[in-house]
Structure 1
Amino acid sequence: MRSFTRDVNKTLHISIYEIMKEYSNRESDLFLLDLQELQAGAEGWLVFDVTAASNHWLVNRKYNLGLRLYVETDDGHSVDPGLAGLLGRRGPRSKQPFMVTFFRASQNPVRVTRAVKQLKKRQPKKTNDLPHPNKLPGIFDDIHVSEGRQVCRRHELYVSFQDLGWLDWVIAPQGYSAFYCEGECAFPLDSCMNATNHAILQSLVHLMKPEAVPKACCAPTKLSATSVLYYDSNNNVILKKHRNMVVKSCGCH
Protein backbone atom coordinates (compact mmCIF):
# COMPACT_ATOMS: atom_id res chain seq x y z
CA MET A 1 0.00 0.00 0.00
CA ARG A 2 1.52 3.32 -1.04
CA SER A 3 1.23 6.51 0.94
CA PHE A 4 -1.00 9.02 -0.83
CA THR A 5 -1.43 12.77 -0.68
CA ARG A 6 -4.86 14.12 -1.58
CA ASP A 7 -3.79 15.96 -4.72
CA VAL A 8 -6.96 17.43 -6.23
CA ASN A 9 -5.55 16.81 -9.72
CA LYS A 10 -5.32 13.06 -9.20
CA THR A 11 -8.00 10.75 -10.59
CA LEU A 12 -9.11 7.93 -8.28
CA HIS A 13 -10.61 4.67 -9.50
CA ILE A 14 -13.02 3.22 -6.92
CA SER A 15 -14.31 -0.30 -7.45
CA ILE A 16 -16.70 -2.31 -5.30
CA TYR A 17 -16.91 -6.12 -5.33
CA GLU A 18 -19.14 -8.80 -3.85
CA ILE A 19 -17.12 -11.42 -1.96
CA MET A 20 -18.13 -14.71 -3.56
CA LYS A 21 -15.92 -17.16 -1.68
CA GLU A 22 -13.19 -16.88 0.95
CA TYR A 23 -10.07 -19.01 1.29
CA SER A 24 -7.54 -19.42 4.08
CA ASN A 25 -4.52 -19.63 1.79
CA ARG A 26 -5.26 -17.19 -1.05
CA GLU A 27 -7.22 -14.12 -2.10
CA SER A 28 -11.03 -14.32 -2.05
CA ASP A 29 -13.06 -14.76 -5.23
CA LEU A 30 -14.59 -11.40 -6.06
CA PHE A 31 -17.40 -10.27 -8.37
CA LEU A 32 -17.11 -6.75 -9.80
CA LEU A 33 -20.30 -4.78 -9.06
CA ASP A 34 -19.48 -1.19 -10.01
CA LEU A 35 -16.56 1.09 -10.86
CA GLN A 36 -16.36 4.87 -10.61
CA GLU A 37 -13.78 7.55 -11.29
CA LEU A 38 -13.57 10.86 -9.48
CA GLN A 39 -11.13 13.66 -8.72
CA ALA A 40 -9.28 13.34 -5.43
CA GLY A 41 -10.64 16.69 -4.24
CA ALA A 42 -14.31 15.84 -4.88
CA GLU A 43 -16.84 15.93 -2.03
CA GLY A 44 -20.22 14.25 -1.59
CA TRP A 45 -21.83 10.82 -1.59
CA LEU A 46 -20.60 7.98 -3.79
CA VAL A 47 -23.43 5.87 -5.20
CA PHE A 48 -22.68 2.32 -6.33
CA ASP A 49 -25.05 -0.12 -8.02
CA VAL A 50 -24.92 -3.33 -5.95
CA THR A 51 -28.14 -4.81 -7.35
CA ALA A 52 -26.51 -8.08 -8.40
CA ALA A 53 -25.19 -8.68 -4.87
CA SER A 54 -28.49 -7.86 -3.16
CA ASN A 55 -30.35 -10.19 -5.54
CA HIS A 56 -27.84 -12.92 -4.72
CA TRP A 57 -28.28 -12.40 -0.97
CA LEU A 58 -32.09 -12.42 -1.21
CA VAL A 59 -32.00 -15.85 -2.84
CA ASN A 60 -29.70 -17.33 -0.23
CA ARG A 61 -28.49 -15.52 2.90
CA LYS A 62 -25.47 -17.76 3.40
CA TYR A 63 -23.88 -16.23 0.29
CA ASN A 64 -23.72 -12.81 1.98
CA LEU A 65 -19.99 -12.53 2.69
CA GLY A 66 -20.05 -8.75 2.38
CA LEU A 67 -18.56 -6.23 -0.02
CA ARG A 68 -15.00 -5.14 -0.66
CA LEU A 69 -13.96 -1.72 -1.89
CA TYR A 70 -10.68 -0.74 -3.58
CA VAL A 71 -9.26 2.68 -4.34
CA GLU A 72 -6.51 3.02 -6.96
CA THR A 73 -4.60 5.75 -8.75
CA ASP A 74 -4.21 6.03 -12.53
CA ASP A 75 -0.97 4.02 -12.39
CA GLY A 76 -2.68 1.10 -10.62
CA HIS A 77 -1.38 1.63 -7.09
CA SER A 78 -3.73 0.87 -4.20
CA VAL A 79 -4.67 3.70 -1.85
CA ASP A 80 -5.97 3.49 1.70
CA PRO A 81 -9.62 4.67 1.46
CA GLY A 82 -9.17 6.82 4.55
CA LEU A 83 -6.18 8.61 3.06
CA ALA A 84 -8.16 9.12 -0.15
CA GLY A 85 -10.88 10.92 1.83
CA LEU A 86 -13.54 8.19 2.24
CA LEU A 87 -15.03 8.55 5.73
CA GLY A 88 -16.55 5.11 6.37
CA ARG A 89 -16.92 4.08 10.02
CA ARG A 90 -14.61 6.90 11.16
CA GLY A 91 -17.00 9.57 9.87
CA PRO A 92 -20.03 11.13 11.59
CA ARG A 93 -23.21 9.08 11.90
CA SER A 94 -24.97 11.14 9.21
CA LYS A 95 -22.27 10.13 6.69
CA GLN A 96 -22.15 6.38 7.35
CA PRO A 97 -22.38 4.12 4.25
CA PHE A 98 -25.79 2.57 3.68
CA MET A 99 -27.66 0.39 1.20
CA VAL A 100 -31.03 1.27 -0.35
CA THR A 101 -33.26 -1.49 -1.75
CA PHE A 102 -36.69 -1.29 -3.36
CA PHE A 103 -39.18 -4.15 -2.95
CA ARG A 104 -42.23 -4.16 -5.18
CA ALA A 105 -44.21 -6.41 -2.85
CA SER A 106 -44.16 -4.10 0.19
CA GLN A 107 -43.51 -0.85 -1.71
CA ASN A 108 -41.22 0.25 1.14
CA PRO A 109 -37.56 1.30 0.88
CA VAL A 110 -35.24 -0.36 3.38
CA ARG A 111 -32.10 1.31 4.73
CA VAL A 112 -29.41 -1.00 6.06
CA THR A 113 -26.20 0.48 7.44
CA ARG A 114 -23.10 -1.44 6.42
CA ALA A 115 -19.46 -0.78 7.13
CA VAL A 116 -16.87 -1.59 4.48
CA LYS A 117 -14.32 -4.09 5.75
CA GLN A 118 -10.71 -3.06 6.28
CA LEU A 119 -8.83 -3.57 3.04
CA LYS A 120 -5.68 -5.61 2.57
CA LYS A 121 -3.03 -5.11 -0.07
CA ARG A 122 -4.58 -5.60 -3.47
CA GLN A 123 -4.14 -8.98 -5.12
CA PRO A 124 -5.13 -10.03 -8.66
CA LYS A 125 -8.92 -10.25 -8.77
CA LYS A 126 -11.48 -11.99 -10.92
CA THR A 127 -13.39 -9.44 -12.94
CA ASN A 128 -16.51 -9.62 -15.06
CA ASP A 129 -18.95 -7.43 -16.94
CA LEU A 130 -22.38 -6.69 -15.50
CA PRO A 131 -25.48 -6.43 -17.70
CA HIS A 132 -27.07 -3.05 -18.34
CA PRO A 133 -29.02 -1.80 -15.25
CA ASN A 134 -32.28 -2.02 -17.23
CA LYS A 135 -31.68 -5.77 -17.71
CA LEU A 136 -30.89 -6.63 -14.10
CA PRO A 137 -33.75 -8.73 -12.65
CA GLY A 138 -35.44 -8.26 -9.30
CA ILE A 139 -35.16 -5.27 -7.03
CA PHE A 140 -34.71 -2.52 -9.60
CA ASP A 141 -37.26 -3.75 -12.19
CA ASP A 142 -39.33 -0.59 -11.66
CA ILE A 143 -36.44 1.83 -12.20
CA HIS A 144 -36.14 3.17 -15.72
CA VAL A 145 -32.80 4.66 -16.67
CA SER A 146 -33.13 7.76 -18.86
CA GLU A 147 -31.35 6.97 -22.10
CA GLY A 148 -29.57 9.83 -23.82
CA ARG A 149 -30.67 12.41 -21.26
CA GLN A 150 -28.18 14.76 -19.62
CA VAL A 151 -27.69 14.43 -15.88
CA CYS A 152 -27.87 17.52 -13.71
CA ARG A 153 -24.92 19.79 -14.48
CA ARG A 154 -23.85 23.39 -15.10
CA HIS A 155 -24.46 25.00 -18.51
CA GLU A 156 -23.08 28.17 -20.10
CA LEU A 157 -25.16 31.36 -19.83
CA TYR A 158 -23.83 34.82 -20.70
CA VAL A 159 -25.89 37.70 -19.30
CA SER A 160 -25.59 40.84 -21.44
CA PHE A 161 -26.41 44.08 -19.60
CA GLN A 162 -26.92 45.69 -23.00
CA ASP A 163 -29.66 43.19 -23.88
CA LEU A 164 -31.29 43.93 -20.53
CA GLY A 165 -31.18 47.68 -21.23
CA TRP A 166 -28.99 48.38 -18.22
CA LEU A 167 -26.03 50.13 -19.88
CA ASP A 168 -27.50 53.56 -19.09
CA TRP A 169 -26.50 52.99 -15.45
CA VAL A 170 -24.07 50.03 -15.49
CA ILE A 171 -20.54 51.19 -16.38
CA ALA A 172 -18.72 47.84 -16.28
CA PRO A 173 -18.74 45.04 -17.06
CA GLN A 174 -21.02 44.90 -20.10
CA GLY A 175 -21.98 41.37 -19.16
CA TYR A 176 -20.74 38.26 -17.38
CA SER A 177 -20.93 34.46 -17.42
CA ALA A 178 -23.68 33.56 -14.97
CA PHE A 179 -24.20 29.87 -15.93
CA TYR A 180 -27.34 27.90 -15.07
CA CYS A 181 -28.29 24.40 -13.90
CA GLU A 182 -30.26 21.89 -15.91
CA GLY A 183 -30.49 18.13 -16.24
CA GLU A 184 -32.04 14.93 -14.98
CA CYS A 185 -32.14 13.98 -11.30
CA ALA A 186 -33.15 10.36 -11.81
CA PHE A 187 -32.58 7.53 -9.33
CA PRO A 188 -29.95 6.37 -8.52
CA LEU A 189 -28.43 9.79 -7.85
CA ASP A 190 -24.74 9.57 -8.75
CA SER A 191 -21.99 11.30 -6.74
CA CYS A 192 -21.43 13.76 -9.59
CA MET A 193 -24.98 15.09 -9.01
CA ASN A 194 -24.11 16.53 -5.55
CA ALA A 195 -27.45 15.27 -4.25
CA THR A 196 -28.71 16.25 -0.81
CA ASN A 197 -30.05 13.61 1.58
CA HIS A 198 -33.51 15.11 1.04
CA ALA A 199 -33.15 14.67 -2.74
CA ILE A 200 -32.18 11.01 -2.32
CA LEU A 201 -35.23 10.32 -0.16
CA GLN A 202 -37.52 12.34 -2.46
CA SER A 203 -36.28 10.25 -5.40
CA LEU A 204 -37.12 7.05 -3.54
CA VAL A 205 -40.64 8.29 -2.73
CA HIS A 206 -41.05 9.37 -6.37
CA LEU A 207 -40.36 5.78 -7.45
CA MET A 208 -43.27 4.60 -5.30
CA LYS A 209 -45.66 7.51 -5.96
CA PRO A 210 -44.59 9.21 -9.21
CA GLU A 211 -47.97 10.92 -9.63
CA ALA A 212 -47.86 12.43 -6.12
CA VAL A 213 -44.20 13.38 -5.64
CA PRO A 214 -41.97 14.89 -8.36
CA LYS A 215 -38.32 14.06 -8.98
CA ALA A 216 -35.64 16.10 -7.25
CA CYS A 217 -34.77 19.36 -9.02
CA CYS A 218 -31.47 20.40 -10.57
CA ALA A 219 -30.40 23.64 -8.89
CA PRO A 220 -27.25 25.62 -7.91
CA THR A 221 -25.35 24.26 -4.92
CA LYS A 222 -22.65 26.94 -4.85
CA LEU A 223 -22.73 30.54 -6.05
CA SER A 224 -20.10 33.27 -6.17
CA ALA A 225 -20.12 37.07 -6.32
CA THR A 226 -19.49 39.48 -9.20
CA SER A 227 -18.33 43.12 -8.94
CA VAL A 228 -20.31 45.74 -10.87
CA LEU A 229 -19.36 49.41 -11.42
CA TYR A 230 -22.49 51.55 -11.81
CA TYR A 231 -24.15 54.94 -11.20
CA ASP A 232 -26.46 55.20 -8.21
CA SER A 233 -29.60 57.40 -8.10
CA ASN A 234 -27.44 60.43 -7.24
CA ASN A 235 -25.06 59.80 -10.18
CA ASN A 236 -22.30 58.67 -7.84
CA VAL A 237 -19.99 56.01 -9.24
CA ILE A 238 -20.28 52.88 -7.08
CA LEU A 239 -18.26 49.67 -7.17
CA LYS A 240 -20.14 46.90 -5.42
CA LYS A 241 -19.66 43.16 -5.14
CA HIS A 242 -23.05 41.48 -5.61
CA ARG A 243 -23.47 38.10 -3.95
CA ASN A 244 -24.84 34.91 -5.53
CA MET A 245 -24.43 36.05 -9.14
CA VAL A 246 -22.45 33.14 -10.67
CA VAL A 247 -23.31 29.45 -10.49
CA LYS A 248 -20.19 27.54 -9.45
CA SER A 249 -21.71 24.07 -9.17
CA CYS A 250 -25.06 22.29 -9.56
CA GLY A 251 -26.77 19.47 -7.71
CA CYS A 252 -30.04 17.68 -7.07
CA HIS A 253 -32.34 19.16 -4.43
Structure 2
Amino acid sequence: MLGAVLLLLALAKPVCPSPAGAGSQRAEVLKRLLEVFGMEDPPPPPAHFKQPPQYMVDLFNTVANADGVTKNPDILEGNTVRSFLDKTHGEKMRFLFVLSSVAKNEKILTAELHLFHLWPRVTDRPKRHHVCQVNVYQVLENETDAPGGKKLLAARLISLQGSGWEVFAITQAVRNWTEDKSSNQGLLVTVQGLDGSPLDPPLLQFASGRDHHESKKPMLVLFTDDGRRGASPAMASFPDLQPQVPILPAKMPVPKLTGLRSTRSLNWLQPCQRHPLSVDFEEIGWSGWIISPRGYNAYHCKGSCPFPLGENMRPTNHATVQSIINALKLSEGVSSPCCVPDKLYSINLLYFNDDENVVLKQYDDMVAGSCGCH
Protein backbone atom coordinates (compact mmCIF):
# COMPACT_ATOMS: atom_id res chain seq x y z
CA MET A 1 0.00 0.00 0.00
CA LEU A 2 2.83 2.42 0.83
CA GLY A 3 4.33 1.88 -2.61
CA ALA A 4 0.99 2.59 -4.27
CA VAL A 5 0.56 5.79 -2.26
CA LEU A 6 4.02 7.00 -3.26
CA LEU A 7 3.17 6.34 -6.92
CA LEU A 8 -0.06 8.31 -6.62
CA LEU A 9 1.72 11.20 -4.93
CA ALA A 10 4.25 11.22 -7.75
CA LEU A 11 1.40 11.61 -10.26
CA ALA A 12 0.02 14.67 -8.48
CA LYS A 13 0.23 17.96 -10.38
CA PRO A 14 3.58 19.70 -9.75
CA VAL A 15 3.48 23.14 -8.19
CA CYS A 16 6.58 24.31 -10.07
CA PRO A 17 7.42 23.85 -13.77
CA SER A 18 8.54 20.29 -14.49
CA PRO A 19 12.18 19.58 -15.31
CA ALA A 20 13.15 18.08 -18.66
CA GLY A 21 13.10 14.52 -17.34
CA ALA A 22 9.63 14.75 -15.83
CA GLY A 23 8.01 13.11 -18.86
CA SER A 24 10.06 9.95 -18.59
CA GLN A 25 9.56 9.91 -14.82
CA ARG A 26 5.79 10.17 -15.27
CA ALA A 27 5.86 7.31 -17.78
CA GLU A 28 7.80 5.19 -15.29
CA VAL A 29 5.34 6.03 -12.52
CA LEU A 30 2.38 5.10 -14.74
CA LYS A 31 4.11 1.82 -15.59
CA ARG A 32 4.56 1.04 -11.92
CA LEU A 33 0.92 1.96 -11.23
CA LEU A 34 -0.17 -0.45 -13.96
CA GLU A 35 1.77 -3.16 -12.13
CA VAL A 36 -0.33 -2.42 -9.03
CA PHE A 37 -3.37 -3.16 -11.22
CA GLY A 38 -1.75 -6.35 -12.54
CA MET A 39 -1.14 -5.06 -16.08
CA GLU A 40 1.93 -4.57 -18.27
CA ASP A 41 0.33 -2.09 -20.67
CA PRO A 42 -2.94 -0.15 -20.57
CA PRO A 43 -5.65 -1.75 -22.74
CA PRO A 44 -6.45 0.31 -25.86
CA PRO A 45 -9.83 2.09 -25.75
CA PRO A 46 -12.51 0.39 -27.89
CA ALA A 47 -12.27 1.42 -31.55
CA HIS A 48 -15.95 2.38 -31.52
CA PHE A 49 -18.25 3.40 -28.70
CA LYS A 50 -19.37 0.29 -26.84
CA GLN A 51 -22.03 0.01 -24.21
CA PRO A 52 -20.88 -2.29 -21.40
CA PRO A 53 -23.26 -5.16 -20.58
CA GLN A 54 -25.90 -3.94 -18.13
CA TYR A 55 -25.26 -7.01 -15.99
CA MET A 56 -21.65 -5.90 -15.43
CA VAL A 57 -22.70 -2.31 -14.66
CA ASP A 58 -25.31 -3.53 -12.17
CA LEU A 59 -22.79 -5.89 -10.58
CA PHE A 60 -20.29 -3.03 -10.13
CA ASN A 61 -22.97 -0.88 -8.49
CA THR A 62 -23.86 -3.79 -6.19
CA VAL A 63 -20.35 -4.43 -4.93
CA ALA A 64 -18.95 -0.87 -4.92
CA ASN A 65 -19.91 2.72 -4.15
CA ALA A 66 -19.51 5.59 -6.63
CA ASP A 67 -15.77 5.79 -5.89
CA GLY A 68 -15.30 2.07 -6.50
CA VAL A 69 -14.74 1.27 -2.81
CA THR A 70 -15.99 -2.21 -1.89
CA LYS A 71 -19.27 -2.19 0.05
CA ASN A 72 -18.98 -5.74 1.32
CA PRO A 73 -16.15 -8.17 0.51
CA ASP A 74 -18.45 -11.19 0.70
CA ILE A 75 -20.62 -10.22 -2.28
CA LEU A 76 -18.13 -11.27 -4.97
CA GLU A 77 -16.94 -14.81 -5.44
CA GLY A 78 -13.22 -14.37 -6.08
CA ASN A 79 -11.77 -11.03 -7.14
CA THR A 80 -12.38 -10.99 -10.89
CA VAL A 81 -15.51 -11.14 -13.04
CA ARG A 82 -15.09 -11.38 -16.81
CA SER A 83 -17.78 -11.07 -19.48
CA PHE A 84 -17.47 -12.49 -22.99
CA LEU A 85 -19.79 -11.90 -25.93
CA ASP A 86 -20.69 -14.59 -28.44
CA LYS A 87 -18.40 -14.71 -31.50
CA THR A 88 -20.53 -16.87 -33.81
CA HIS A 89 -22.25 -15.49 -36.88
CA GLY A 90 -24.04 -18.63 -38.02
CA GLU A 91 -26.53 -20.81 -36.19
CA LYS A 92 -28.64 -18.93 -33.66
CA MET A 93 -28.48 -21.69 -31.06
CA ARG A 94 -24.73 -22.31 -31.32
CA PHE A 95 -22.42 -20.08 -29.25
CA LEU A 96 -18.66 -19.57 -29.08
CA PHE A 97 -16.74 -17.53 -26.50
CA VAL A 98 -13.02 -16.76 -26.87
CA LEU A 99 -11.34 -17.04 -23.46
CA SER A 100 -7.78 -16.08 -24.41
CA SER A 101 -7.69 -13.21 -21.89
CA VAL A 102 -8.06 -15.58 -18.91
CA ALA A 103 -4.65 -15.84 -17.24
CA LYS A 104 -3.21 -19.25 -16.40
CA ASN A 105 -2.97 -18.38 -12.72
CA GLU A 106 -6.69 -17.56 -12.45
CA LYS A 107 -8.75 -20.12 -10.57
CA ILE A 108 -12.08 -20.77 -12.30
CA LEU A 109 -14.80 -20.54 -9.65
CA THR A 110 -18.08 -20.23 -11.54
CA ALA A 111 -19.05 -19.85 -15.18
CA GLU A 112 -22.51 -18.84 -16.38
CA LEU A 113 -24.19 -18.66 -19.78
CA HIS A 114 -26.57 -15.69 -19.95
CA LEU A 115 -29.26 -15.87 -22.66
CA PHE A 116 -32.05 -13.35 -23.20
CA HIS A 117 -35.45 -15.00 -23.54
CA LEU A 118 -37.47 -13.13 -26.20
CA TRP A 119 -41.21 -12.60 -26.11
CA PRO A 120 -43.02 -15.44 -27.94
CA ARG A 121 -43.81 -14.82 -31.58
CA VAL A 122 -47.42 -14.45 -32.66
CA THR A 123 -48.38 -17.51 -34.70
CA ASP A 124 -51.60 -18.95 -36.08
CA ARG A 125 -50.85 -22.42 -34.77
CA PRO A 126 -52.59 -23.45 -31.55
CA LYS A 127 -50.42 -23.14 -28.43
CA ARG A 128 -50.32 -26.64 -27.05
CA HIS A 129 -47.22 -25.97 -25.02
CA HIS A 130 -46.92 -23.61 -22.05
CA VAL A 131 -43.45 -24.69 -20.96
CA CYS A 132 -40.57 -26.34 -22.73
CA GLN A 133 -37.20 -27.81 -21.79
CA VAL A 134 -34.00 -25.96 -22.67
CA ASN A 135 -30.79 -27.99 -22.83
CA VAL A 136 -27.26 -26.55 -22.89
CA TYR A 137 -24.55 -28.80 -24.32
CA GLN A 138 -20.78 -28.54 -24.50
CA VAL A 139 -19.84 -29.22 -28.12
CA LEU A 140 -17.18 -31.93 -28.36
CA GLU A 141 -17.25 -32.46 -32.13
CA ASN A 142 -18.57 -30.42 -35.04
CA GLU A 143 -21.03 -33.19 -35.83
CA THR A 144 -23.13 -32.69 -32.71
CA ASP A 145 -25.62 -35.44 -33.68
CA ALA A 146 -22.89 -38.06 -33.73
CA PRO A 147 -22.46 -40.28 -30.64
CA GLY A 148 -20.25 -38.42 -28.20
CA GLY A 149 -20.58 -35.21 -30.18
CA LYS A 150 -21.92 -33.19 -27.26
CA LYS A 151 -22.13 -33.27 -23.47
CA LEU A 152 -25.13 -32.08 -21.46
CA LEU A 153 -24.23 -29.26 -19.05
CA ALA A 154 -27.60 -27.90 -17.91
CA ALA A 155 -31.32 -28.46 -18.48
CA ARG A 156 -34.30 -26.47 -17.27
CA LEU A 157 -38.04 -26.03 -17.85
CA ILE A 158 -38.85 -22.50 -18.99
CA SER A 159 -42.25 -20.87 -19.49
CA LEU A 160 -43.04 -19.67 -22.99
CA GLN A 161 -44.65 -16.55 -21.55
CA GLY A 162 -42.69 -13.45 -20.67
CA SER A 163 -39.10 -12.50 -21.43
CA GLY A 164 -35.84 -11.82 -19.63
CA TRP A 165 -32.45 -13.29 -18.85
CA GLU A 166 -31.96 -17.00 -18.27
CA VAL A 167 -28.73 -18.16 -16.58
CA PHE A 168 -27.19 -21.63 -16.97
CA ALA A 169 -24.19 -23.01 -15.05
CA ILE A 170 -21.41 -24.18 -17.42
CA THR A 171 -18.43 -24.18 -15.05
CA GLN A 172 -16.99 -27.57 -15.98
CA ALA A 173 -16.95 -26.77 -19.70
CA VAL A 174 -15.06 -23.51 -19.13
CA ARG A 175 -12.52 -25.28 -16.91
CA ASN A 176 -11.93 -27.74 -19.74
CA TRP A 177 -11.49 -24.90 -22.24
CA THR A 178 -8.98 -23.03 -20.11
CA GLU A 179 -6.93 -26.20 -19.59
CA ASP A 180 -7.01 -27.08 -23.29
CA LYS A 181 -7.89 -24.19 -25.60
CA SER A 182 -8.27 -26.49 -28.61
CA SER A 183 -11.19 -28.21 -26.86
CA ASN A 184 -13.31 -25.04 -27.05
CA GLN A 185 -15.85 -25.93 -29.74
CA GLY A 186 -18.55 -23.79 -28.17
CA LEU A 187 -22.01 -24.48 -26.81
CA LEU A 188 -25.22 -25.80 -28.33
CA VAL A 189 -28.68 -24.94 -26.99
CA THR A 190 -31.74 -27.02 -27.91
CA VAL A 191 -35.44 -26.60 -27.11
CA GLN A 192 -37.77 -29.58 -26.76
CA GLY A 193 -41.24 -30.43 -25.51
CA LEU A 194 -42.01 -32.08 -22.21
CA ASP A 195 -42.15 -35.44 -23.99
CA GLY A 196 -38.56 -34.96 -25.20
CA SER A 197 -39.51 -34.29 -28.83
CA PRO A 198 -37.68 -31.41 -30.55
CA LEU A 199 -39.74 -28.31 -31.34
CA ASP A 200 -39.09 -27.14 -34.89
CA PRO A 201 -39.26 -24.25 -35.17
CA PRO A 202 -38.65 -23.80 -31.42
CA LEU A 203 -41.45 -21.93 -29.68
CA LEU A 204 -38.93 -20.35 -27.32
CA GLN A 205 -36.38 -17.97 -28.85
CA PHE A 206 -33.22 -16.45 -27.42
CA ALA A 207 -31.64 -13.23 -28.64
CA SER A 208 -28.62 -13.73 -30.88
CA GLY A 209 -25.51 -11.62 -31.21
CA ARG A 210 -26.20 -11.10 -34.89
CA ASP A 211 -29.86 -10.07 -35.00
CA HIS A 212 -30.54 -8.27 -31.73
CA HIS A 213 -29.49 -5.23 -29.73
CA GLU A 214 -26.14 -5.37 -28.00
CA SER A 215 -27.84 -5.20 -24.60
CA LYS A 216 -29.44 -8.62 -25.28
CA LYS A 217 -26.45 -10.44 -26.75
CA PRO A 218 -25.57 -13.91 -25.44
CA MET A 219 -22.87 -13.61 -22.81
CA LEU A 220 -20.58 -15.81 -20.78
CA VAL A 221 -19.84 -14.51 -17.27
CA LEU A 222 -16.80 -15.94 -15.54
CA PHE A 223 -15.97 -15.57 -11.82
CA THR A 224 -12.29 -16.19 -11.04
CA ASP A 225 -9.62 -15.49 -8.46
CA ASP A 226 -6.06 -14.58 -9.46
CA GLY A 227 -4.61 -15.11 -5.99
CA ARG A 228 -3.64 -11.44 -5.51
CA ARG A 229 -4.66 -10.73 -1.94
CA GLY A 230 -3.71 -7.92 0.39
CA ALA A 231 -2.32 -8.25 3.87
CA SER A 232 -5.10 -6.37 5.63
CA PRO A 233 -8.12 -8.25 7.01
CA ALA A 234 -11.35 -7.95 5.07
CA MET A 235 -13.72 -5.33 6.40
CA ALA A 236 -16.93 -6.55 7.95
CA SER A 237 -19.27 -3.90 6.58
CA PHE A 238 -19.48 -0.85 4.37
CA PRO A 239 -16.46 1.35 5.18
CA ASP A 240 -16.96 4.69 6.83
CA LEU A 241 -14.90 6.91 4.58
CA GLN A 242 -15.65 10.24 6.23
CA PRO A 243 -12.55 12.36 6.86
CA GLN A 244 -10.87 11.12 9.99
CA VAL A 245 -10.72 13.84 12.64
CA PRO A 246 -8.59 13.09 15.69
CA ILE A 247 -10.29 13.54 19.05
CA LEU A 248 -7.94 15.68 21.10
CA PRO A 249 -8.30 16.69 24.74
CA ALA A 250 -9.21 20.32 25.40
CA LYS A 251 -5.87 20.95 27.05
CA MET A 252 -2.97 18.99 25.69
CA PRO A 253 -0.38 18.04 28.33
CA VAL A 254 3.20 18.91 27.50
CA PRO A 255 5.75 16.30 28.59
CA LYS A 256 8.53 17.72 30.73
CA LEU A 257 11.27 15.35 29.74
CA THR A 258 14.92 16.19 29.29
CA GLY A 259 16.33 15.85 25.81
CA LEU A 260 13.10 16.79 23.99
CA ARG A 261 13.52 19.44 21.33
CA SER A 262 11.62 22.68 21.79
CA THR A 263 10.22 22.30 18.30
CA ARG A 264 8.40 19.17 19.43
CA SER A 265 5.55 21.36 20.68
CA LEU A 266 4.84 22.41 17.09
CA ASN A 267 4.03 18.80 16.22
CA TRP A 268 0.89 18.94 18.38
CA LEU A 269 -0.64 21.14 15.70
CA GLN A 270 -0.36 18.38 13.10
CA PRO A 271 -1.24 15.05 14.71
CA CYS A 272 -1.39 11.85 12.71
CA GLN A 273 -4.51 11.79 10.60
CA ARG A 274 -5.89 10.96 7.16
CA HIS A 275 -5.71 13.41 4.25
CA PRO A 276 -7.30 13.29 0.77
CA LEU A 277 -5.36 11.83 -2.16
CA SER A 278 -7.44 11.97 -5.34
CA VAL A 279 -6.76 9.69 -8.28
CA ASP A 280 -8.28 11.00 -11.53
CA PHE A 281 -8.18 8.38 -14.28
CA GLU A 282 -8.96 10.96 -16.95
CA GLU A 283 -6.04 13.12 -15.86
CA ILE A 284 -3.58 10.24 -16.20
CA GLY A 285 -5.03 9.21 -19.57
CA TRP A 286 -6.92 6.05 -18.58
CA SER A 287 -10.52 7.21 -19.02
CA GLY A 288 -10.75 5.58 -22.47
CA TRP A 289 -10.68 2.04 -21.10
CA ILE A 290 -11.84 2.43 -17.49
CA ILE A 291 -15.65 2.50 -17.32
CA SER A 292 -16.08 3.03 -13.56
CA PRO A 293 -15.15 4.73 -11.39
CA ARG A 294 -13.87 7.92 -13.05
CA GLY A 295 -11.50 8.27 -10.12
CA TYR A 296 -11.32 7.63 -6.40
CA ASN A 297 -9.90 8.99 -3.15
CA ALA A 298 -7.01 6.81 -1.99
CA TYR A 299 -6.27 9.02 1.07
CA HIS A 300 -2.85 9.12 2.72
CA CYS A 301 -1.59 9.42 6.27
CA LYS A 302 0.39 12.41 7.47
CA GLY A 303 1.26 13.95 10.80
CA SER A 304 3.34 13.37 13.89
CA CYS A 305 3.16 10.75 16.59
CA PRO A 306 4.40 12.71 19.61
CA PHE A 307 4.78 11.44 23.15
CA PRO A 308 2.49 10.62 24.87
CA LEU A 309 0.43 8.69 22.32
CA GLY A 310 -3.27 9.07 23.07
CA GLU A 311 -5.98 6.60 22.12
CA ASN A 312 -6.98 8.94 19.29
CA MET A 313 -3.65 8.08 17.64
CA ARG A 314 -4.71 4.40 17.50
CA PRO A 315 -1.23 3.29 18.60
CA THR A 316 -0.06 -0.28 18.82
CA ASN A 317 1.60 -1.41 22.04
CA HIS A 318 4.89 -1.51 20.17
CA ALA A 319 4.43 2.11 19.04
CA THR A 320 3.71 3.18 22.62
CA VAL A 321 6.92 1.56 23.88
CA GLN A 322 8.90 3.03 20.96
CA SER A 323 7.46 6.47 21.70
CA ILE A 324 8.57 6.28 25.34
CA ILE A 325 12.07 5.11 24.44
CA ASN A 326 12.40 7.86 21.83
CA ALA A 327 11.14 10.56 24.18
CA LEU A 328 13.45 9.56 27.02
CA LYS A 329 16.41 8.94 24.65
CA LEU A 330 16.92 5.57 26.27
CA SER A 331 18.42 4.11 23.12
CA GLU A 332 20.31 5.71 20.24
CA GLY A 333 18.79 5.70 16.77
CA VAL A 334 15.22 4.98 17.84
CA SER A 335 12.85 7.30 15.99
CA SER A 336 9.33 8.22 16.95
CA PRO A 337 6.50 6.02 15.62
CA CYS A 338 5.27 6.66 12.08
CA CYS A 339 1.83 7.79 10.91
CA VAL A 340 0.63 5.02 8.60
CA PRO A 341 -2.65 3.43 7.43
CA ASP A 342 -3.99 0.98 10.00
CA LYS A 343 -7.09 0.02 8.04
CA LEU A 344 -7.18 -0.50 4.28
CA TYR A 345 -10.09 -0.99 1.89
CA SER A 346 -10.31 -2.49 -1.57
CA ILE A 347 -11.54 -0.79 -4.73
CA ASN A 348 -13.21 -2.19 -7.85
CA LEU A 349 -12.48 -1.29 -11.46
CA LEU A 350 -14.89 -1.90 -14.33
CA TYR A 351 -12.96 -1.70 -17.60
CA PHE A 352 -12.51 -2.88 -21.19
CA ASN A 353 -9.62 -5.31 -21.63
CA ASP A 354 -7.48 -5.88 -24.76
CA ASP A 355 -10.27 -7.92 -26.39
CA GLU A 356 -12.86 -5.20 -25.65
CA ASN A 357 -14.57 -7.50 -23.16
CA VAL A 358 -15.70 -5.95 -19.90
CA VAL A 359 -13.94 -6.97 -16.69
CA LEU A 360 -14.79 -6.21 -13.05
CA LYS A 361 -11.75 -6.57 -10.83
CA GLN A 362 -11.26 -6.02 -7.12
CA TYR A 363 -7.93 -4.73 -5.80
CA ASP A 364 -7.07 -5.04 -2.12
CA ASP A 365 -5.42 -2.42 0.11
CA MET A 366 -6.04 0.56 -2.17
CA VAL A 367 -7.73 3.06 0.17
CA ALA A 368 -6.49 4.20 3.57
CA GLY A 369 -9.53 3.83 5.80
CA SER A 370 -7.92 5.26 8.91
CA CYS A 371 -4.48 6.20 10.19
CA GLY A 372 -2.55 5.38 13.33
CA CYS A 373 0.85 5.54 14.94
CA HIS A 374 2.83 2.36 14.39
Bin the TM-score by the shorter chain: 0.3 to 0.5
* Structure with greater proportional strand content: 1
Q: TM-score, normalised by structure 1?
A: 0.43
When Rg is computed on C-alpha atoms for both structures, the one with the higher figure is 2
Higher relative contact order (CA 8 A, sep 6+): 2
Q: TM-score, normalised by structure 2?
A: 0.30
